[in-house]
């Protein structure tokens, strides 16, 4: 027991313990402050009490609860740090016991003018958590006509210490609950976003299409999809919105909605691209441009018509390890509203696979700030040119092993289109 508490009478010590038990049960800070105000008057036989909390942004003490004041009146009272008794006590971290406020220049008489209350004597003590000042407690006007004693000062100081510990606990729990609520909301948002992506692989006429998606956060700006247009044509898409988080995720959701509507309307490939760009340029911020790979695969003609809008190069790997590149051939979408996109046509033969990806694959870092890079990616693709299905396991594992303990900074997404019976003979 500290020396200050030892100076308290047994009666006051018991009263202090009872008061602490009384204020410790609620979990709402506002309710605790109301109970504390009630206890100040009872503990010290005071006419009134008040509690100020420090606003760290404005450096002002804001009145939170006070005896016989309405919420409107309370909301008007703010004291700059260092001004008045409350400001002095908070700034200096020391109690002040004034027997006659008319004789002390530190008394902030404006509050009496606002409230109509006549302050005669006042005891003000700092309110602290374990590591900082968070406000002050005040007891005003001893009811017996005297002034507050040294024991009153000790009693209120110790009570303030217990109040600070109680508030710290409650604020911590509130922050924890808020964090859990936010995390729950983000998890739900993540689940919704993942529901926008294809749930299963597509198998169609000796073609297998499957994607991999691992967001850096709960929600991301990466998106992939595929649409069977008819027996011979499949539309594929993989995009990456600049930035991350909720806004990027919402933009990608709108891309999916647009593509679905465009396909239902039987628009041709180039019109789909041009209209998507116009939609994005008109409806998204300038800093939320999109790199996107759109591909129209024609199985009968063994070709792919593609528009690569500032995206990573696509790669076609043959069964025997030959590589064809599908580099960027147009500007990013959402930048110039009236830009006319021009497609490129390339052979996509049987017994080969197409690999498209976002930059999170090659830009994954390790502790030495080295990047995973295109060379490592190509090495994995070529080593698995005869077994591309294994890439879905090998590539993510390789990126994770390379990065080690480094936090994933960017979303990792890729899509593979595998063509030919040679890959499915087992």
Q: pLDDT value at position 312?
A: 94
Domains in the chain, CATH or no CATH each: 3-175 (3.30.450.40), 186-424 (3.60.40.10)
Quick check: 24 pLDDT over 70?
A: no
29-33 mean pLDDT = 80
Confidence of residue 72 (pLDDT cuts 50, 70, 90): confident
CB 171 within 8 A of CB 165: no
The upper half-sphere exposure of residue 340, i.e. CA atoms within 13 Å in the direction of its Cβ, equals: 0
Q: pLDDT value at position 189?
A: 63
Percent of the chain past pLDDT 70, that is, above it, reads: 86
Q: pLDDT value at position 52?
A: 93
Q: pLDDT value at position 129?
A: 84
pLDDT tens track for 170-191? 777 677 666 776 666 566 666 6
Confidence of residue 286 (pLDDT cuts 50, 70, 90): confident
Q: pTM of the predicted model, to two decimals? A: 0.61
Quick check: 426 pLDDT over 70?
A: no
409-420 mean pLDDT = 90
Confidence of residue 255 (pLDDT cuts 50, 70, 90): confident
Higher pLDDT, 9 or 307: 307
Q: What is the DSSP string of 184-244?
A: HHHHHHHHHHHHHS-SS-EE-SSEEEEEEEE-SSSS-SEEEEEEE-SSSEEEEEEEEESS-
Q: Across the chain, how many H-helices and E-strands are there?
A: 11, 17
Confidence of residue 62 (pLDDT cuts 50, 70, 90): very high
pLDDT tens track for 361-407? 998 988 888 999 999 999 999 999 999 999 999 999 999 999 888 87
Quick check: 219 pLDDT over 70?
A: no
Q: pLDDT value at position 173?
A: 66
- Residues in contact with 197: Cβ distance below 8 Å, sequence separation at least 6, in sequence order: 211, 213, 223, 224, 225
Query: CA-CA distance, 164 to 128, in Å (whole number)?
Result: 5
Higher pLDDT, 249 or 75: 75
Confidence of residue 31 (pLDDT cuts 50, 70, 90): confident
Q: Which long-range contacts (CB under 8 A, 24 or more apart) does 21-29 make?
A: 23/162, 23/163, 23/166, 24/166, 26/170, 27/170, 27/173, 27/174, 28/170, 29/167, 29/170, 29/171, 29/174
């Amino acid at each position: 027991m500290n020396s200050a508490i030892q100076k308290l009478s047994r009666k006051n010590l018991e009263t202090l313990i009872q008061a602490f038990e009384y204020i410790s049960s609620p979990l709402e800070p506002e309710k605790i402050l109301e109970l504390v105000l009630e206890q100040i008057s009872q503990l010290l036989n005071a006419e009134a009490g008040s509690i100020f909390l420090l606003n760290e942004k404005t450096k002002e003490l804001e009145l939170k609860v006070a005896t016989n004041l309405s919420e409107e009146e309370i909301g008007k009272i703010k004291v700059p740090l260092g001004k008045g008794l409350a400001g002095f006590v908070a700034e200096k971290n020391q109690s002040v016991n004034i027997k006659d406020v008319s004789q002390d220049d530190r008394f902030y008489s404006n509050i009496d003018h606002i409230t109509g209350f006549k302050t005669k004597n006042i005891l003000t003590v700092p309110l602290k958590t374990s590591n900082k000042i968070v406000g002050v407690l005040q007891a005003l006007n001893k009811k017996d006509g005297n002034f507050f004693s040294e024991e009153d000062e000790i009693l209120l100081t110790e009570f303030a210490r217990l109040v600070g510990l109680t508030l710290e606990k409650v604020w911590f729990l509130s922050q924890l609950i808020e964090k859990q609520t936010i995390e729950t909301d983000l998890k739900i948002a993540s689940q919704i976003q993942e529901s926008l992506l294809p749930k299963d692989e597509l198998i169609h006429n000796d073609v297998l299409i499957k994607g991999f998606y691992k967001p850096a956060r709960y929600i991301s700006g990466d998106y992939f999809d595929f649409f069977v247009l008819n027996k011979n044509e499949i539309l594929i898409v993989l995009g990456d919105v600049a930035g991350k988080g909720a806004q990027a995720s919402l933009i990608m959701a709108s891309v999916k909605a647009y593509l679905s509507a465009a396909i239902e309307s039987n628009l041709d490939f180039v019109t789909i691209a041009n209209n998507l760009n116009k939609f994005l340029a008109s409806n998204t911020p300038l800093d939320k441009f999109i790199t996107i790979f759109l591909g129209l695969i024609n199985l009968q003609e063994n070709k792919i018509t593609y528009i690569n809008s500032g995206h990573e190069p696509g790669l076609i790997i043959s069964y025997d390890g030959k590589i064809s590149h599908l580099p960027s051939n147009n500007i990013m979408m959402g930048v110039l509203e009236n830009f006319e996109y021009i497609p490129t046509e390339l052979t996509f033969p049987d017994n080969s696979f197409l690999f498209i990806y976002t930059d999170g694959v090659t830009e994954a870092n390790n502790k030495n700030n080295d990047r995973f890079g295109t060379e490592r990616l190509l090495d994995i693709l070529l080593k698995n040119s005869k077994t591309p299905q294994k890439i879905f396991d090998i590539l993510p594992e390789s990126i994770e092993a390379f990065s080690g303990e480094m936090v994933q900074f960017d979303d990792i997404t890729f899509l593979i289109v595998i063509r030919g019976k040679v890959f499915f003979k087992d």
